[in-house]
Amino acid sequence: MKKYSVYILKCSDDSYYVGITNDVFQREDQHNKGLDIKSYTYKRRPVKVVWHQEFLSPNEAIEKEKQLKGWSRKKKEALINNNLETLPTLSMNRKAQQHFDRLSVTNKKVFKEIMEKLPYSEPFLFVDELQQITEDGVVGAYHFKPDTAFYKGHFKNHPVTPGVILTECCAQIGLVCLGIFLINEEHKDSVQIGFTSSEMEFLKPVYPGEKVSVVSEKIYFRFQKLKCKVKMYNIHDEVVCRGVLSGMFKTIRDDE
């Protein structure tokens, strides 16, 4: 069966080149021989393959090549170095990224405080970790365990994560965790949460055993109502679902 490989070359001037081929190391050799004087790599030899991925579908390979060509240098290097957990954060728009870089306050203490206020527990807790949280958004992750009960019977012999569970994961990380953080900036009391609306689009399946990352950006937070734009990514930095979520937050005095 014919395979198609998307690859990244590191050039002698420290730049990166993305291409597609049927034989990665044969193509590397061709680049180094300078067979095409019009090629980007011709004056940047020698080059070296630093990452590649195989596909059975030419359309998927072409789509991946286009995606990587649009990536920043930081995202390419995160992929090359297998720092996949940083890709969702690097995928945020520049304004949000600058804000996260400047104001990130996530640490073990903050995460513990938020987790203690979450109104969920196993098996309905879909938050494993928070990487970053600020007044403008949150980045977190969850690992869908293969033995989770909802996989049984959801598409026989080929289980996938139900869309309602993906929405719940996005809501717990992207809406509830952020809302608790924002409320706690002003109050130290308990918090009640009401999920008011969701508009989600599902693009790719999430299979048992996959780890996903959720990136949420605040649209507004006023009168204790929070509205967020959320995206969920798989480990290949592909968006598996995205949408807009809203919820109401109410503080309750601990002595009530």
The phi and psi torsions of 34 (rounded to 5 degrees) equal: 70, 45
| Average pLDDT in the chain | 86
Top pLDDT among 154 and 4 is at: 4
CB 161 within 8 A of CB 143: no
Nearest alpha carbon to residue 92 among 136, 59, 35: 136
pTM of the model: 0.65
Q: What is the DSSP letter of 56?
A: S
For residue 235, count other CB atoms closer than 10 A to its CB. Answer: 15
Mean pLDDT, to the nearest integer, of 209-216?
92
What's the full length of the chain, in residues?
Answer: 256
Q: Per the structure block, which two tokens stand in for 210?
A: 């996959």
**Cα–Cα distance measured from residue 212 to residue 256, given in angstroms and rounded to the nearest whole number:** 38
- Which residue ranges make up each domain of the chain? 4-82, 85-252
* Segment 42-80, tens digit of pLDDT: 999 999 999 999 988 888 899 899 989 988 899 899 999
- Mind telling me the catalytic residues? 154
CATH class of the domain defined by 4-82: alpha beta
**CATH of region 85-252, choose from 3.30.70.520, 3.30.450.40, 3.10.129.10, 3.40.1160.10:** 3.10.129.10
How high is the pLDDT of residue 161? Answer: 95
Q: Per the structure block, which two tokens stand in for 233?
A: 């990514």
Please give the C-alpha separations between residue 24 and each of 21, 51, 55, 63, 240, in angstroms, as whole numbers. Answer: 6, 10, 12, 17, 28
CB 21 within 8 A of CB 7: yes
Please give the C-alpha separations between residue 218 and each of 139, 156, 171, in angstroms, as whole numbers. Answer: 12, 38, 12
The phi and psi torsions of 136 (rounded to 5 degrees) equal: -105, -10
Mean pLDDT, to the nearest integer, of 122-139?
89
- State the DSSP H helix or E strand holding residue 73, giving kind and residue range, or none if neither: helix 73-80
How high is the pLDDT of residue 12? Answer: 96
Lowest mean pLDDT among 14-23, 33-42, 98-107, 228-237: 98-107
Beta strands per DSSP E along the chain: 4-10, 16-21, 48-55, 129-134, 137-143, 190-202, 211-222, 225-233, 239-252
How high is the pLDDT of residue 163? Answer: 95
Task: Please report the sign of the dihedral spanned by the C-alpha atoms of residue 141, residue 146, residue 150, residue 154.
Answer: positive
